Amino acid sequence: MERARQLVSAILAGMLISMGGTVFLSQSNPVVGSFLFAIGLYTIVVFQLHLFTGKIGYTPFQKPIYIIELAITWFGNLLGTGLTALMVKNSRIGGPLVEKVMGVADVKLADNFLSIFLLAIFCGMLMFIAVDCYRNVQGSTLRFIGVFVPVMVFILSGFEHVVANMYYFSLAGAWSAHCVMSIIVMTLGNAVGGMLIPLYLKIFKVRV
């Protein structure tokens, strides 16, 4: 039952990130779009849903069995983003969004794997900062800022978020062998970036 709950939680998280991606694509102003995108992560941390980029950073502090939870989370996020993309495509807002996201997908898939990996590392670091700020910072205003600002930074900088890209690729109908490899590279980059600060804290026994 617990694994089923984790899967449903991950599907919901994938849907929420997709909603953030949808509103981002709907905006002509990237700053406004990046701010509104962050509502997805904010809702995820409020309801403690399973998002791969929000959970991977805590791997150094977990037992090996945590890998199973991460795998379920990743797969559930994929299902959630795919489901949302299908729903959006079959709605009145689908046409313009599909047209716009195809350009986004083309840029990402034209990039080389090293570049994707490096950009995903930066995003992973920012996602850990956002989630950990919500967990540990006191005060609703600081928590809000701690979640929204890192998300805005990764979007405006062009860093790669694997779950957001699952949605973009599904909406664009861009899945291919090369696309799958890009998603795997993004996953690894997000994982490395997400664990950099936690590994520093654990290895040097730093208390925050």
Q: What is the pTM of this model?
A: 0.97
* Per-residue pLDDT tens over the stretch 12-64: 999 999 999 999 999 999 999 999 999 999 999 999 999 999 999 999 999 99
* 64-77 per-position pLDDT tens digit: 999 999 999 999 99
d(CA 106, CA 82): 18
Contact by Cβ (8 Å): 162, 185: no
SS3 189: helix
Give the mean pLDDT of 86-115: 98
- For 187-208, what is the mean pLDDT? 95
- Mean pLDDT for 172-191 is 98
Contact 136, 58 (CB under 8 A): no
Closest CA to 153 of 191, 122, 113: 122
Residue 175 has pLDDT above 80, yes or no: yes
Contacts of 36 (CB under 8 A, 6+ apart): 20, 23, 24, 27
Whether the pLDDT of residue 208 is over 90: the answer is no
